[in-house]
Amino acid sequence: MATFTAEMKATNKWRLNPRTTVTSVIALEDGRLLAECHAANQSDFEPWLEEKGWEV
């Protein structure tokens, strides 16, 4: 969670680009993170997650 938080603080208001917005992140009991985002297409968000080393 700390890594994801640090990555998100490096973005402007949780917008990865003009087309995507992260609206919430939930930490699951087993350590996985569930991120809700809004974008025209899922593919608008996935490259950023992959670039940061997160499993998509």
pLDDT value at residue 29: 93
50 by DSSP, 3-state: which?
Answer: helix
Global pTM exceeds 0.75: no
pLDDT value at residue 38: 85
pLDDT value at residue 11: 61
Q: Give the model confidence (pLDDT) of 2-56 as tens digits.
A: 776 776 676 665 667 777 887 888 889 998 888 888 888 888 878 877 877 777 7
Query: Got the DSSP string for 2-44?
Result: HHHHHHHHTSBTTBSBTTEEEEEEEE-TTS-EEEEEEESSGGG
Q: State how far the Cα of 50 lies from the Cα of 56, in Å rounded to an integer.
A: 7
